[in-house]
A and B are shown apart, each in its own frame.
Chain A
């Protein structure tokens, strides 16, 4: 059974870059049916889609974050990463990685989620 798991620093200073990794196990990241994405949830608030990547390298990003975000798939094809630059307190959130249906079902839905990792932006 495919699983995904987030990892990375829990504390990032303002103006610096947030970097998180998602490790995929029990399945292949090199599937032509799925995208691999990130979603975040600020404390007490709703979900926000950040973006995703396809194993061949294409990416899609939330327009509100596009200028600061990058998602890439590791050449090992067992990990994918998120970087978010110039962070502020507004970027404090639980960050989830997830498998997202794309060319196959469930289209544009996230069906496998990590447990989430809390990132706090503070000096």
Chain B
């Protein structure tokens, strides 16, 4: 059982926006602004898409955005494209004992 809770699936049509949630606790998401999001296509390694709640690494499309409210973080993908179909994982710093925790992942389908 993952420390962070994500919906198992999400979907949207090309051009639409979709938001994926990630719920934790005051010990992780709620306690620190260190939420990250990763995209993983089948057979590939994860790719960092968002770090520190809302920052984008160089080269990541601005169609990807992150936010946080309380113990829940969110990833929004705008202007959905076929290439966005992938698994998405959230993670958070969880303090010096647990350090880094992941969500169970959300499979995003572009209809």
What residues make up the interface of A, taking CB atoms closer than 8 Å to B?
39, 46-49, 51-52, 60-63, 96, 100-101, 105-111, 113-116
Contact = CB atoms under 8 A, between A and B. Distances in A.
Interface string B16-27: 000000000000
Contacts of A51: 99
Contacts, number: 73
Contacts of B89: 46-47
A107 B99 CA distance: 12
Nearest to B6: A46
B52 A110 contact: no
A96 B45 CA distance: 8
B101 interface: yes
Contacts of B96: 60
A113 B47 contact: yes
A46 B105 contact: yes
Contacts of B48: 106, 109-111
B99 A62 contact: yes
